[in-house]
Structure 1
């Protein structure tokens, strides 16, 4: 009979997500994870299998908590452009307020792991697809309400908005303040 686990795996995934978010996948060592989770290497591998399996779980946790928050903001009531402005401004403000300037774990993972890590790339692509679909739905809603010209292609605008978010999240990592990000948000909304 084995000893019972002395830690909560769900809490451990949350803690691991923070480590990967701060250091990236390649920059995170098993020792970093052991120290952050307060467990032994044996428990780490027995519970999660590998560093990569834990990384995938951390990406899913990020998707289920952080990434869905943007979609929820877009689905609130009110004028479409106002909701979009609030959502984009929220992302910029959140990123700028983070002293570590971690940015977005999905965007960071795309930059670091695309082309070398198929499972992580697929997880990020699904997050991006879901966000883009939410943008497209918002554009279509704006077209029905008359806020956005009906001749504009909702799929193209959804892709543009996803690209804007990815760019904002990267720029916020190195921006000294909100000015450039605010200009991007203003220009994006003006382009609709």
Structure 2
């Protein structure tokens, strides 16, 4: 008779996400995961199949939670540029305040794995697509409200904003303070 699981797999995915986010995929060992999740290696493999399968679940969890939070903030009421500034400032502050300077797990996974791991690349691509789409919708709203010139291409501006966020997440990993990121935010908003 099989013993019942002594842990919640969904909580384990969250815990694994933190480990992969902090260390990256290659540097995370099965022992790191076992230690963080407080389970045996047998439970790890019986529940998730492999380190890579757990990484995929963790990256999906990251994508779903982070993108949902971003979209929710962009959908708040108020002027479009104010909402955008709030989101960009929050991302910068969150990254700068993180003692591990983890940046964005999806960006990190893209840099580490995109050329060798199609699944990780596709998961990151979907997150970037969803983020870009949310920015495009915000630009279109700004054009309807008169905050953003109607002749500007919303898809191109959505791509610009998504790329700005990716760059900011990387710069924040090594920034000594907020000044550079503040300049990027100001210049980005001025360009709209």
Q: 2:78 aligns to what?
A: 78
Q: 1:69 aligns to what?
A: 69
> Residue 60 of structure 1: CA displacement?
1.2
- Whether the 8 Å CA contact 2:25–2:55 is kept in 1: the answer is yes
- The correspondence of residues 57-136 of structure 1 with structure 2, limited to 5 A, is 57-136=57-136
Q: 4+ residue stretches of structure 1 with deviation over 4 A? A: none
* TM-score of the pair, normalised by structure 1: 0.98
> Residue 70 of structure 1: CA displacement?
1.2
1:1-33: CA deviation from partner (whole Å, max 9, x where unpaired): 101111110111010000000000001011110
> Structure 1 stretches of 5 or more lacking a match?
none
1:60-104: CA deviation from partner (whole Å, max 9, x where unpaired): 111222232111111111000000000000000000010110011
> Residue 53 of structure 1: CA displacement?
0.4
- Whether the 8 Å CA contact 2:67–2:130 is kept in 1: the answer is no
**Equivalences, count:** 192
Q: CA RMSD in A?
A: 0.7
- The correspondence of residues 139-158 of structure 1 with structure 2, limited to 5 A, is 139-158=139-158
* TM-score of the pair, normalised by structure 2: 0.98
- The correspondence of residues 3-82 of structure 1 with structure 2, limited to 5 A, is 3-82=3-82
Q: 1:168 aligns to what?
A: 168
1:94-140: CA deviation from partner (whole Å, max 9, x where unpaired): 00010110011011111111111101110110010000000000000
SS in structure 2 opposite 1:174?
Answer: coil
- Whether the 8 Å CA contact 2:34–2:40 is kept in 1: the answer is yes
> Structure 2 stretches of 5 or more lacking a match?
none
